[in-house]
Amino acid sequence: MNKIILIPSRLQSERLPEKPLKLIGSKTMIEMVYDAASKSVADKVTIATDSQSIFKEVKNFGGNVEMTNPNHSNGTERIFEAAEKMGLAGEDIVINLQGDEPFSDPNDINNIFELLQEKNIEMVSMFTELKDKSDLKNPNVVKVSVVDSVAQDFYRKETNIDKKAYMHLGVYGFKFSTLKKIINLPKSENEIALKLEQMRAMDNNILIHMIKSVAKIHLGVDTHEDLELANKLIGND
């Protein structure tokens, strides 16, 4: 059983162009994510990209990288192509770690690997507490409801401020066989309507087991303001 982390990374971003190559301190964002992943128990960490600029940057800091098709519609499709190129199969474990999460915690990654070693677990993701009640109405903050450590629903808006919901963290772990199954399913209506790729699994009765993150910082870098905050957090004002 191989334990692999794949980090999908593309150059295009509407709110923060070329964000994987933005500096946080003395390192690019993509190098920070790679470094965090490399501190886990993974057998191998690889960046999956369609960008020559990202490819060169990963090679410059000594990382593993796979070039992938530029026409993928989401990160899951990109990591599946990379996983196939690497010869993964069956019970091999693949973690899809987002390339814009520079403060990813290796302990979270290790917890996903551990849970996926159980025979009846096909797919795992993570959650944390909402930062503020106002996040319930913020469509950019994806929410998840969890019962008995299994995701019940993912959504973007919630008008009931008293409803118990958590912030979904976009890291996914799969057995390779499950990843292949999901990729070969058609996009579901909820996936298209909500622009949430995990809904394809939900809508096809694939249980998504949820783990609460132990990370101290949860910051997806999507805007210039996020980038400024990331630099402040590492003391690089």
Average pLDDT rounded to a whole number, residues 186-214: 95
Model pLDDT, residue 101: 93
Helix axes 52-60, 29-38, angle to 10 degrees: 50
237 — pLDDT class (breaks 50, 70, 90) = very low
Q: Report the C-alpha gap between 17 and 203 in whole angstroms.
A: 32
Domains of the chain: 3-217 (3.90.550.10)
Average pLDDT rounded to a whole number, residues 14-19: 86
236 — pLDDT class (breaks 50, 70, 90) = low
Model pLDDT, residue 163: 75
Query: Tens digit of pLDDT for each residue in 67-95?
Result: 999 999 899 999 999 999 999 999 999 99
Supply the mean pLDDT for the chain: 93
Which of 20, 210, 235, 222 has the alpha carbon at shortest distance from 124?
210
Question: What would the 3-class secondary structure string for 127-148 be?
Answer: EECCCCHHHHHCCCCCEEEEEC
More confident residue, 158 or 6: 6
Query: Tens digit of pLDDT for each residue in 143-169?
Result: 999 999 999 999 998 767 667 899 999
Model pLDDT, residue 184: 95
Report if pTM > 0.75: yes
